[in-house]
Amino acid sequence: MGEGVRRKAAPGAYDRIYAVVRRIPRGRVATYGQVAAEAGLAGRARQVGYALHALPTGSVVPWHRVINSAGRVSLPPNNGGLDQQLRLQAEGVEVFLGGRISLGRFQWKSATRSRGS
DNA sequence: GCGGTGACGGTCG
DNA sequence: CCGACCGCCACCG
């Protein structure tokens, strides 16, 4: 029962984050906060950024599908941000100038997330 | 063990 | 729309 939200950092928190990011379908994007919540780390969006930053080059994790809640690419263009935008466009995601993306059209809706509609 | 830092998020002007 | 501030919390020196 007492299965509320686990507030304590679970062992291998990074792996949990990577597992969630890996579930993001091609051509879709998710926000840091969304990924954090899915990984059981609600409110710790910053940690998601940290985990993705620690990813090695050539990782199987589609880190480029994660953007901020403002619907924009967080990384500066001169430091990977441009690469991220290119990768997204290659998947069919429409990326406007400044790394802006329409969450309404491309945000991934996980099945386990309830949404009062 | 303490303090600065940041691939965030929400609010305010 | 955009920049500035603050709150949160794990990572690192």
Query: Is-contact A100 A29, C-beta < 8 A?
Result: no
Residues with CB under 7 A from strand C: A 9, 13-14, 43-44, 46-47, 50, 54, 98
Radius of gyration of chain A (CA): 14
Using alpha carbons, list the distances in angstroms from residue A38 to A72, A81, A109: 20, 24, 11
Tokens in use for A92? 């069919």
- pLDDT tens for each residue of A80-103: 999 999 999 999 999 999 999 999
Burial (CB count within 10 angstroms: exposed 0-12, middle 13-18, buried 19+), residue A110:
middle
**Segments in chain A below pLDDT 50:** 114-117
Cβ atoms < 10 Å from Cβ of A81: 16
3-state DSSP percent of chain A in helix, strand and coil, to 5: 40, 10, 50
The predicted structure's pLDDT at residue A14: 94
Put simply, whether the predicted model's pTM sits higher than 0.95 gets the answer no
Q: Which amino acid is at A59?
A: S
| Subset of residues 18-77 in chain A with CB less than 7 angstroms from any atom in strand B | 31-34, 45-50, 52-53, 55, 63-64, 66, 68-70, 74-75
